[in-house]
Amino acid sequence: MDRKKNMPLEGPLVTRHSSPVTRFLLAFHFLTIIPLKEMRDVSEKEIGGASAFFPVAGAVQGALFSISAALFLKIFPVELANGLVVLVIVITTGGLHLDGLADTFDAIASRGTREKKLAIMKDSTVGPFGVIAIVLVILLKYLSLNALFSHPSLVTYYSSLFLMPVFSRWAMVPAIFHCKSARQDGLGKIFIENTGIKELVIATLSALIVLSAALVVSNGMLNSSFQLSAFAPVLPVLYIFCIIAVWFSNKNFGGMTGDTFGAVAEMSELLFLMTVIICSQKFI
């Protein structure tokens, strides 16, 4: 999530009240390649407040993924369509989270000190372990989408595509809330210092509202009790994963950085899909 190199905070940081719309635009700005908000004259408090709207920004991305899948499936075989969907997922984030995933795993593979590991994460080059992490995550996402498509109802497939970015973006918020910063500067530190219980509660409620809305919309196409059984475990599973990620980062890096937040987002997407697959198989 560290866009410090690509999107510097131009102009002075000011202290002023920000509207929910402003914070949503900032969230979308940080999580996608679509710059909906100019990074000028924004305060650190506004940046931290944007984390509350991560799930809402994820819902916009999820709608794009679902629509893309529907279009691709009308033209291509399932396997190719899902490959193109994965490509859309990567493109919409500009590979930002994958870059964080690669940097994190390169640092994990290092046997040096914390300072060396942090230096590796800051390095723009990608090592062998970073490449392996990217390949495996993309491959497993692709295979997971194929597995979901084979489910008797396509509603599960489309619902998963829509909700995946919602909950993976939400997972970043408890990670930010519970962690400490491994660096003395950077965008990650700004989020950590300005994301409080208010942002965590808003993000959680937003994710639950989006989930409820998705279940209501699909109620006419699939039994709602099945839907709830398939997706309800996702929130606690991802929360536990976030706590583990925070503990692991504290132990290995002395805290979390923008790169580790990107790794949490990528791994949460995969964990979300795998959780839905496991739960949905029990209710076929």
pLDDT one-digit tens code per residue, 91-136: 998 888 999 999 999 998 888 788 888 888 887 788 889 999 999 9
CA 135/CA 129 separation, integer angstroms: 10
> How far is CA 48 from each of CA 64, 78, 165, 193, rounded to the nearest angstrom?
25, 40, 19, 7
Q: Classify residue 142 by burial, with Cβ atoms within 10 Å: 0-12, 13-18, 19+.
A: middle
Q: Looking at residue 29, what is its pLDDT?
A: 82
Q: How confident is the model over 156-197, as pLDDT tens digits?
A: 899 999 999 999 999 999 999 999 888 888 788 888 988 899
The pTM of this model reads 0.87
What pLDDT was estimated at residue 226?
A: 54
**Rounded Cα distance, 198 and 117, in Å:** 32
- Return the domain boundaries, the chain: 20-281
Average pLDDT, the chain: 85
Work out whether the CA dihedral 42, 60, 204, 19 comes out positive or negative.
positive
Instruction: Say whether pLDDT at 244 is over 70.
Output: yes
Residue where the block lists tokens 């950590």: 192
Question: How does residue 275 score in pLDDT terms, banded at 50, 70 and 90?
Answer: very high
The answer, yes or no, to whether residue 15 has pLDDT greater than 70, is: no
